[in-house]
């Protein structure tokens, strides 16, 4: 019985991280970040306009962004307004192809996206917005910045009620700014531009998926 009780407790704790209030924030004697109030007061009205497309699925009560999950459950993403580590969440859209919500997470010197799976409430962090291939079987994200240092293109694919990483490629983001596009479900073109903007041509290459499912890079 003791083992059964422990097992149930572990399962309960895992479920709590999947569907419920998601936060790791505590005041700890820290003051409220003044930028938090300024940023959210400007951004929440714009976010409310995006709610209109999915008003039955998403809502906000001050610092709590509530997202409806399958089976009548819901999850709340809770802002942290305290100190230098303050951050806040902003709803972007519901992605029908992936069955996940796209949520921005903004902080002083960091920026990311949180993908919230509608079937499970599981959270995935990416450093760029999802860009789908035309047949919607996979999507790419790009994180390319100097501060915070990001330098990767990642190819993701839905895997049941989860997301899998098919491949990840390093980008020259310390010197160049890079973008990518799908030319085909198995072909991605990547173009980089020097950050100093002085007439030099940046790197250009393609990523191709072989018959064995592996992605490879070709070009300079």
Distance of CA 216 to the CA centre of its chain: 24
- Other C-beta atoms closer than 10 Å to the C-beta of 29 total 7
Instruction: Please tell me the pTM assigned to this model.
Output: 0.84
**Which has the closest alpha carbon to 123: 24, 40, 36?**
24
DSSP-derived pairing of the beta strands 74-78 and 21-22: parallel
Mean pLDDT by 10 residues, the chain (220 residues): 37 38 66 81 91 89 95 94 88 96 91 96 96 96 94 96 96 95 96 84 94 91
Alpha helices in the chain (DSSP H): 2-16, 34-51
Residues 6+ apart with CB under 8 A from 108: 33, 35, 84, 86
Predicted confidence at residue 1, as pLDDT, reads: 42
Predicted confidence at residue 12, as pLDDT, reads: 33
Distance CA(69)–CA(2), nearest Å, equals 32
């Amino acid at each position: 019985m003791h083992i059964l009780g422990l097992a149930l407790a572990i399962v309960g704790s895992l479920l709590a991280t999947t569907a419920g209030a998601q936060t790791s924030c505590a005041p700890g004697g820290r003051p409220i970040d003044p930028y938090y109030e300024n940023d959210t007061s400007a951004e929440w009205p714009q976010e409310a306009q995006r709610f209109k497309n999915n008003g039955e699925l998403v809502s906000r009560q001050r610092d709590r962004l509530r997202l409806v999950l399958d089976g009548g459950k819901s999850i709340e993403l809770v802002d942290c307004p305290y100190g230098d580590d303050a951050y806040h969440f902003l709803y972007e859209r519901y992605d029908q192809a992936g069955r996940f919500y796209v949520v921005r997470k903004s902080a002083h010197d960091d920026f990311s996206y949180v993908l919230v799976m509608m079937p499970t409430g599981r959270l995935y962090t990416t450093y760029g917005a999802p860009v789908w291939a035309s047949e919607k079987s996979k999507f790419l994200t790009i994180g390319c910045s100097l501060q915070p240092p990001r330098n990767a293109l990642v190819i993701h694919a839905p895997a049941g009620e989860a997301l899998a990483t098919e491949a990840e490629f390093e980008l020259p983001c310390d010197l160049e700014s890079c973008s990518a596009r799908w030319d085909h479900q198995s072909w991605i073109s990547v173009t980089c531009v020097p950050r100093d903007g002085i007439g030099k041509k940046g790197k250009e290459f393609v990523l191709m998926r072989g018959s064995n499912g592996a992605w490879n890079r070709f070009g300079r």
